[in-house]
A and B are shown apart, each in its own frame.
Chain A
């Protein structure tokens, strides 16, 4: 068995059935081995960035390990954005790249790049194989490492000659699970009971720990008012009466108010990102903080915790739930206050009753949320549409909302939707994108067609880079700079060129029929939605400002006050 064949065998041993890749010179031995292997489905994307982002979307939607493969040089460098995206959002991923043969490393050989060196900052760990006999141990370690603790991408760079070298096949036992006890839980419970205004603050760490169900039980049984980060959307469930929704820069006034006024913040699986907290010295100024996370380095990183608990969220949430079930928290006054704030200061978007009126982003997303099936997976891109989805789509599970939170990668949505569709061929998957983001990975329309994936594409087209335009309007004295996309191609004709049918809508009375048509169609379909160029995402907190200073539509910055932001 050679190195390439061993890699495929390791996939089988670890139940990896789907990988995303693109062949080329130095990875050809692996592609040769794939010819004889029917147990691994290889998805050929049209760009290596598409491969990495599809693997990311596959991992987010399924909870499994995402795998992407590319050749040396440009194959590897094209993966980098997708791998960085997975790194910033802690997505479990295995990356395999071919490298020039061992003897040519360091000679500026054709398609040679120092992949190990250039990717150090975007991986959880990485390896350059220098001995074929280390491959079995490294494959086993890499796959375990990518999924353990705080997950992340692990990159294996393997020279072509070692893919062809004989490898002694020796399976390696899985590492023993870490056993944890948490004596801090007693103190956490005492702090919860002593608090008059405790608030649950959860993020992407909940689903990364596969603790969605246990979190839901805890959130419901504790009856704690709850806010979520962008990546925590869906954690409490859409029917939880105490769910105040997303906090932060584009969060709801209710969620930010609750953080501002709470006296205890119970942070679970979140890293207090600047887009969520706003200016740190104004964040939860009256609150003590309990921080529960899998990653010790997140504890005390940005704000000191009064109590920190590191470990598996399932164990910790189970213990907390058991303790609270027997003696519920007495916080009815605070709950009522939060519900009132939510009623008055939740995300508002009136449906436009005027049938011929132009479509607005929030109204469209609210309709989509009402019409799409409950278990629909929405893969967003980055920009205004991403925030409208976060604000107005009612998610019932965090794995239904795929969004590039940390890196903010335009072009994420389409390949991520492809990955999600491969994770479950029967599920409804919708890529909600903007006209800017759509063009960043539009080549993957060919992948949709090749595999006849039934996913749906919704392009919200405002003929510009809307989020940049919005910030130029609000914080750069309305000096528009390089944001016009009014020469976009005809997206309907473009989809049809890939043999994907498409519809165009521009009026409010076309929204329902447009959505129902694409959802009912048995195959991929694109809906091109024209929206106003001037529409903004509200509310907004100026970058660097406190969440207390949210700007509403009625409080726009005066054009005369010229302000610049970092």
Chain B
């Protein structure tokens, strides 16, 4: 049995376009994790040589910090932020 707590954590949406290369999604997900965010939703769509990824992310750090780190990835063409909102997140 695990204890559960409910904390309010900011939620963000980011839309990301990147090249369709080996490990593209792993690379993206790793940066998101290492920089302190969790993926709540992720939709991936192939578009020719690119993939478009729509992300809903949760984290307490500034989203601009993650955006600039994602933009550093060589195969990321564009990162567009959406609107921030507060959500109740259930953690185990």
Where the two chains meet, the residues of A that have a C-beta atom closer than 8 Å to any C-beta of B are: 116-117, 120-121, 124-128, 130, 145, 295-297, 299-301
Contact = CB atoms under 8 A, between A and B. Distances in A.
A297 B27 contact: no
Given A117-B23, A117-B26, A301 B65 contact: yes
Contacts of B30: 120-121
A121 B30 CA distance: 7
B65 A300 contact: yes
B23 A116 contact: yes
Given A300-B64, A301-B65, A120 B27 contact: yes
Q: Is the interface of A mostly helix, strand, loop or mixed?
A: mixed
Given A124-B74, A296-B72, A297-B72, 4 more contacts: A116-B23, A125-B74, A297-B65, A300-B68
B22 A130 contact: yes
A126 B23 contact: yes
Contacts, number: 36
A125 B23 contact: no
B76 to A, nearest CB: 11
A116 to B, nearest CB: 5
Interface residues of B, number: 16
A145 B72 CA distance: 12
A116 B68 CA distance: 23
Interface string B35-49: 000000000000000
Interface string B41-82: 000000000000000000000001100110111110000000
B72 A295 contact: yes
Interface of B: 21-23, 26-27, 30, 34, 64-65, 68-69, 71-75
A295 to B, nearest CB: 7
Given A120-B30, A127-B22, A130-B22, A145 B68 contact: no
Contacts of A299: 68
B23 A128 contact: yes
B59 to A, nearest CB: 15
Contacts of B23: 116-117, 120, 126, 128
Contacts of B27: 120
A130 B74 CA distance: 19
B68 A297 contact: yes
A126 B22 CA distance: 9
B68 A296 contact: yes
A38 B57 CA distance: 53
B62 to A, nearest CB: 8
Nearest to B33: A121
A116 B24 CA distance: 11
Contacts of B22: 116, 127-128, 130
Nearest to A295: B72
B15 to A, nearest CB: 19
A134 to B, nearest CB: 10
28 contacts: A116-B22, A116-B23, A117-B23, A117-B26, A120-B23, A120-B26, A121-B30, A121-B34, A124-B74, A125-B73, A125-B74, A126-B23, A128-B22, A128-B23, A130-B22, A145-B74, A295-B72, A296-B68, A296-B72, A297-B68, A297-B69, A297-B72, A299-B68, A300-B64, A300-B65, A300-B68, A301-B65, A301-B68
